[in-house]
Amino acid sequence: MATPHCRCPFGFRAQMPNSIQMNDSSSTPVLFFINKLSGGQKGQQIYRTLVRLLNPRQVFLLENDLTIVQALNIYSSLVNLRICICGGDGTVGWILRHLVDAFPALKNPPASIYPLGTGNDLSRVLGWGRLYKSRGLLRTLTQITHAHPVALDRWKIQIETLEANASGNESVDTRRRFFSFTYHPKFICHADQPEYENHRTPINTFFFNYISFGLDAAVVLDFQVRRTRDPSKFTSPFKNKIFFIKESRKYFNDFAFGIAWNLSSYMRLICDGQDLTDSIRHCHSLVLLNTRGFGAGTHPWGRTSTNRISPANTREDDQTKVTTTDVIAHATVNNFEAQDFGDRKIEVLGLNTRQMALIHIGFHGNRIAQCSQVRIELSHPMPVHMDGEAFCLAGSTAINITHAGQVMVLRNENR
């Protein structure tokens, strides 16, 4: 048992007196926010472990927004304060939004991540690991104080209702009246399912990692609906992935008959004022990336370079494999800069059904744009996946995506 004069590794006294040392610059105090439902409901176990290891006053089990607000109000004046978010991508975005609101630009306590979700894409990008490991907690704790603060862009979505046919797809609707045999994906035909009723609007209006539309989002939405309906079955990250695979099998026909449909029939894409709808003519998912991570560890944007790409003069790094696709796509690669989640630019890309499988082995999708503003006009209902949370938007809807400031996070370079 620690003595009253012994410090824990994070700046708070192991048995803290009534007053906290507010101006001790020699320590690095850390607040822990834990989502008890993340990681197949492993959050409760993590909470109990941290309460035993640390001072209970620095560990918060997430219940609602008030929990976060109160914790930040109490400890915001601590020198060298850092934050650890224990949860998945959705939980990370939840806490980061409060940090942006509670502190001046880039003055917030930087945040680290202990991954408890299914995908954990932002955790992977920042070097905090790809999945929950019970024996990895102590290692993560020792790395927080040595991690490097970096700026992460935040993006805002604004949803507006359009007049009928305002999305410019009148000709598409006309063609369908004559060609009734046209194949429509399941997420278009079954968009009015009653189980989607509680998933018609986004939980949040900001994202930090990605937002996607189409086939991949449809699978995530069905997975989320099932988990919400019966959470007792989702008791571990492994089981979550099994259920996710089962949900994806429902869309076998959409994958198999991908040649018969594409997203350009259901949406209009405008990047920095330029209509790029033709770029998604052969795509089944549209992805907007702030970071390189998407889909539980894939890098669909791939590596970009201003130098000539060839297998002979390019070495393989630990993130992305150089493939024949990189060489063939050289003509478009030269038009893009390397990804940077702090450059106030977002990467826009499309994935067809084949690429949705190949990105898991190092291939990339169709790069469309790097821009500051994106507008997507929907003529039909569309599933959307944003930072771990999925929902279904109605047709005749426009989504405007713009840059909305930055937040400080911690990049772990010692993993």
Domains, the chain, in order of start with CATH, read 30-146 (3.40.50.10330), 155-301+339-409 (2.60.200.40)
Q: Which token pair is 286?
A: 């549209």
* Percentage of the chain modeled with pLDDT above 70: 80
Q: Is 228 a residue whose pLDDT tops 90?
A: no
What is the per-residue pLDDT for 181?
53
Rounded to 10°, the helix 215-229/237-249 angle is 120
Find the helix or strand (DSSP H, E) in which 348 lies: strand 346-351
What SS3 class is residue 350?
Answer: strand
Kindly report whether the global pTM for this prediction surpasses the value 0.85: no
Task: Report the range of poorest mean pLDDT among 10-19, 97-106, 354-363.
Answer: 10-19
What SS3 class is residue 100?
Answer: helix
Q: Is 403 a residue whose pLDDT tops 60?
A: yes
More confident position, 85 or 226: 85
Mean pLDDT score, 315-334: 38
* Cα–Cα distance measured from residue 406 to residue 275, given in angstroms and rounded to the nearest whole number: 27
Burial of 65 (0-12, 13-18, 19+ CB in 10 A): exposed
Find the helix or strand (DSSP H, E) in which 339 lies: none
What is the per-residue pLDDT for 236?
67
* Cα–Cα distance measured from residue 415 to residue 412, given in angstroms and rounded to the nearest whole number: 6
Q: Which token pair is 284?
A: 């089944």
* Cα–Cα distance measured from residue 119 to residue 188, given in angstroms and rounded to the nearest whole number: 25
Please, what is the average pLDDT of the chain?
A: 81
What's the pLDDT band for 278 if we cut at 50, 70, 90? Answer: very high
* Cα–Cα distance measured from residue 360 to residue 364, given in angstroms and rounded to the nearest whole number: 9
Q: Is 398 a residue whose pLDDT tops 80?
A: yes
Ranges 11-25, 181-195, 314-328, 373-387, most confident = 373-387
What is the per-residue pLDDT for 102?
93
What is the per-residue pLDDT for 21?
39
Q: Is 15 a residue whose pLDDT tops 50?
A: no
Is-contact 85 92, C-beta < 8 A? yes
* Cα–Cα distance measured from residue 360 to residue 338, given in angstroms and rounded to the nearest whole number: 20
What is the per-residue pLDDT for 415?
67
Q: Tell me 298's DSSP state.
A: B
Smallest Cα–Cα separation from 366: which of 407, 331, 341, 414? Answer: 331
What is the per-residue pLDDT for 58?
94
Is-contact 367 301, C-beta < 8 A? yes
What's the pLDDT band for 345 if we cut at 50, 70, 90? Answer: very high
Smallest Cα–Cα separation from 191: which of 218, 164, 229? Answer: 218
